[in-house]
Structure 1
């Protein structure tokens, strides 16, 4: 006999006997042999990314990640957002996967390469039919206008994409309120009370057997986006009892969202699912998830640096007024002064203004010293009071290196105990990088792009290792030859946000000419810093002038 099919105008299911499986699949069991229980599976630890460009494939991959078996599935037409959202509510209430039909009636093959971080194997062939067979499903709830040929041999409960009709056909309760048919509402949809689930022994159940949902998966959370094409994957996650956080499809980076960072931290989940094509743009999803789950919020909120904030810094060395204003007062007064200086920019920009300290950790020296490198390395203990006070006050810190005749990487490693703190970045000052035989103040120093890259490789690995937020890496420059082969500087590490700091002093026409020259041929996507000198600039720009006359506007403004 044919499969059980409910025409669009009927609301009750019709019993089926002697069903025949579709080609290539095992026979569907007789009704009394069918298992009603839904069986879920715990995803692998870490981040699993489901980001295929085809929403049909994403829906299948999500089902495979979370479900071992299910007596029923819900199928909705791909590309029909209204039908999919209604179907999503049904799938969540029944506790079963939601799959999508591409309208090809099972004929079109699917060949998907799964992202490296996904726990799924590649999806090939007739993806939907194969997934239904894998799940052992005997019933398909078909919503809206879908092709039924690939479901031959299965019980089909068909319904228009209408809330009342679908509720009647499936025994679920769908809200008629259009506002409920949205991705955010779906993410908040309550998972059914498993203790009150209708069993297959109930009188005239709409589905035979009626699914008995599995207990909600533990220690798992999902991130998805508000793209309509992500509704199916979201529904399948919610059907498995997985809580979900919705991000904008045009801004899917979890590190930009304070709310997402808080949610991931609070969840403390071992497994995180990233469900949506937009997540394919994340360069390192595993690190992004670990960093966000730390719960760390950088000054200004979130974990990114330059997109929506302006850093305003005091520069200098502790206890050394001659090297800059940072050294003119004690720790507490330095923090208060940094906050006061940064506050002068609050009304001049729509960005969040972040008070900042740039602390010279290794100071260029006129004498070679015991180690012969013409650089005095301050002990980490000398800097820690500033860093700890800054962290408590919402102040960012950059530690600055003036390495003399040694290399930047050697000196950077001396401060690893400070650089593992979330609010601490690093600055390289090539003016004070000497070659053998050179001495400070007899020439301007320089650094190769290769040496800069050795530092960025090490620092990025440190951030990756400890799941830290991205770090600021500042490159000081006021002459083009200070950074040799600058076009080869590696800006690809997602764990770092690089900035070129134009720190020349003198008259404003000369400073502006330097600013323009440094921008020519600079690495793409790099941020920019400007320095105001209290005594050496002729004249020093006021905050209003800095924001008006320095174009493009800087991301970091430092005072020395």
Structure 2
């Protein structure tokens, strides 16, 4: 099966050698120099082949158009690979590795073909290397090792999943003048890595190469890199909402204290109150805590209203001050929909301008999704998975098309029937799904609801918990919330 790289927009050119064609270093002669591949500044390549040898060859093809030689070692010999990497970087030529199974192995043949593609006149072997090639085996000429033997106006940014597994690729990247940045241990998504996002943003006009088998699982590398290049990050780093982050949010509607604490003060005071509340979790949370807001954008109403849908849709202008205040404070905002007899997708599209901003997320509240003969507060609503999927499809498309960072997609639930066919919920790499458990009352009742909703939940979803200031008996303190609600919720809201 062809590598993903062959399907990406990486255009290699063979511009020839920068200097003369001499390969020796005798008097009056100059060693040939390498030339780099010419790539579009926004290009993204993924080097995710199964073997270290194949990755070394693919990285060479991606970064170099030609080279007078290369340094070759067996992937099975760590000391030889380290020596080859050091020499290749100093000589400004690719480092290639074979699998050590002789010159007839597929890896050795691939390395030999890469030497031919590079136009190499020599290769230096480190350790036990056997190649079936007409390219001369000898040490790299000293003149080849002169600094600046390669040229590129926009050298690539190379993101490496595992430096030890791809030492040869790292050397090739450095030989090509690329900036190399490593993924943190245990992290597989570039959007969740602060230093990677920073590097891609700082070098947004440079091509990007992702190196490592783990990147083969990225559903959309182009979107991931494009979103990172924009530079927006969560306060504690990275763009992935629920990867190493916990949020404490105020919930409510602007100007409506009866609907929650968010409506008890203006946007600036709401920010201050959210920050103070989140700080109460600093000493009891095992993950960084970020203040947040959950703003009710459409409010279920007791009367039908002019449009007959039993839902009051707040204008964008009413929500913007909260979104702007939160953005200025580095806080995410969740827009909550209570659609009445309308549907979630129609209401979500009303707020496309706000959802087109990074850090503005979406929540669906099925309690208030009613049928044509239901009325808020008389019946508890519900939603089918296919309607939720239509919203998540639309939101994921919006994120991808606009190059936005990943968004949280929150589903409120306190009864199993509120989200029908929950196992049919679709996954999107652009969205982190969280089920927010909204039960109120005594703590035994809330814990029973919490545990019941975990049964049969879709794999990979995150979890949220709500503390009701007036309705819980008693309301948990931050210490109790972290101790008693297990697994620990990623989003804790206060109403």
Shifted more, 426-435 versus 366-375: the winner is 366-375
1:58 aligns with 2:58: no
Q: 1:82: Cα distance to partner?
A: 2.1
1:279-298 map, 5 Å: 279-298=215-234
1:135 aligns with 2:89: no
1:165-314 map, 5 Å: 171=142, 193-194=147-148, 213-218=149-154, 220-248=156-184, 250-314=186-250
Contact 1:51/1:279, CA 8 A, preserved across alignment: yes
Q: 1:556: Cα distance to partner?
A: 1.1
Distance (Å, rounded) in 1 between the aligned partners of 2:103 and 2:430: 43
Going from structure 1 to structure 2, the CA distance change for 1:103 and 1:375 (only over 3 Å counts) comes to: same
1:81 to 59, 78, 82: 78
Distance (Å, rounded) in 1 between the aligned partners of 2:212 and 2:143: 27
Distance (Å, rounded) in 2 between the aligned partners of 1:229 and 1:56: 10
Name the counterpart of 1:499. 434
Q: 1:29: Cα distance to partner?
A: 10
What is the CA deviation profile of residues 132-173 of structure 1, one whole-angstrom value per residue up to 9, with x for unaligned ones?
A: 1112211111111212x514x332126xxxxxxxxxx75489
Going from structure 1 to structure 2, the CA distance change for 1:394 and 1:34 (only over 3 Å counts) comes to: closer
Distance (Å, rounded) in 2 between the aligned partners of 1:509 and 1:71: 73
Moved over 4 A (4+): 28-35
Residue 345 of structure 2: SS of its match in structure 1?
helix
Q: 1:455: Cα distance to partner?
A: 0.7
2:65 to 68, 72, 85: 68
Name the counterpart of 2:3. none
Name the counterpart of 1:42. 38
Contact 2:154/2:207, CA 8 A, preserved across alignment: no
Residue 229 of structure 1: SS of its match in structure 2?
coil
Higher-Rg structure is 1
Q: 1:393: Cα distance to partner?
A: 1.3
Shifted more, 492-501 versus 37-46: the winner is 37-46
What is the CA deviation profile of residues 198-228 of structure 1, one whole-angstrom value per residue up to 9, with x for unaligned ones?
A: xxxxxxxxxxxxxxx3313515211113342
Residue 59 of structure 1: SS of its match in structure 2?
helix
1:382-401 map, 5 Å: 382-401=318-337
Contact 1:217/1:242, CA 8 A, preserved across alignment: no
Residue 42 of structure 1: SS of its match in structure 2?
coil
Distance (Å, rounded) in 1 between the aligned partners of 2:63 and 2:51: 19
Q: 1:47: Cα distance to partner?
A: 1.2
Residue 361 of structure 1: SS of its match in structure 2?
strand
Name the counterpart of 2:9. none
Contact 1:219/1:269, CA 8 A, preserved across alignment: no
Distance (Å, rounded) in 1 between the aligned partners of 2:318 and 2:22: 74
Distance (Å, rounded) in 2 between the aligned partners of 1:128 and 1:371: 69
Contact 2:366/2:382, CA 8 A, preserved across alignment: yes
TM-score with structure 1 length normalisation?
A: 0.80
2:138 to 141, 145, 157: 157
What is the CA deviation profile of residues 87-127 of structure 1, one whole-angstrom value per residue up to 9, with x for unaligned ones?
A: 112112222111112223221235xxxxxxxxxxxxxx921
Name the counterpart of 2:472. 537
Distance (Å, rounded) in 2 between the aligned partners of 1:219 and 1:371: 57
1:433 to 369, 372, 376: 369
Name the counterpart of 2:452. 517
Distance (Å, rounded) in 2 between the aligned partners of 1:559 and 1:243: 44
Contact 1:79/1:229, CA 8 A, preserved across alignment: no
Going from structure 1 to structure 2, the CA distance change for 1:424 and 1:103 (only over 3 Å counts) comes to: same
TM-score with structure 2 length normalisation?
A: 0.90
Residue 228 of structure 1: SS of its match in structure 2?
coil
Contact 2:192/2:243, CA 8 A, preserved across alignment: no
1:457 aligns with 2:393: yes
Q: 1:269: Cα distance to partner?
A: 2.7
Residue 349 of structure 1: SS of its match in structure 2?
coil
Residue 487 of structure 1: SS of its match in structure 2?
helix
Distance (Å, rounded) in 2 between the aligned partners of 1:437 and 1:427: 24
Distance (Å, rounded) in 2 between the aligned partners of 1:366 and 1:39: 71
What is the CA deviation profile of residues 259-280 of structure 1, one whole-angstrom value per residue up to 9, with x for unaligned ones?
A: 2211111112341011222222
2:292 to 339, 356, 363: 356
1:306-325 map, 5 Å: 306-325=242-261
Contact 1:409/1:454, CA 8 A, preserved across alignment: yes
Distance (Å, rounded) in 2 between the aligned partners of 1:63 and 1:556: 44
Distance (Å, rounded) in 2 between the aligned partners of 1:460 and 1:155: 53
What is the CA deviation profile of residues 16-46 of structure 1, one whole-angstrom value per residue up to 9, with x for unaligned ones?
A: xxxxxxxxxxxx9997999823222123442
1:479-494 map, 5 Å: 479-490=415-426, 492-494=427-429
1:553 aligns with 2:472: no
Count of aligned residue pairs for this structure pair: 471
Residue 389 of structure 2: SS of its match in structure 1?
helix
Distance (Å, rounded) in 1 between the aligned partners of 2:184 and 2:378: 54
* Structure 2: gaps spanning 5 or more residues: 1-20
Aligned Cα root-mean-square deviation (Å): 2.2
What is the CA deviation profile of residues 273-310 of structure 1, one whole-angstrom value per residue up to 9, with x for unaligned ones?
A: 11222222323211111111111111322112223222
Going from structure 1 to structure 2, the CA distance change for 1:290 and 1:531 (only over 3 Å counts) comes to: same
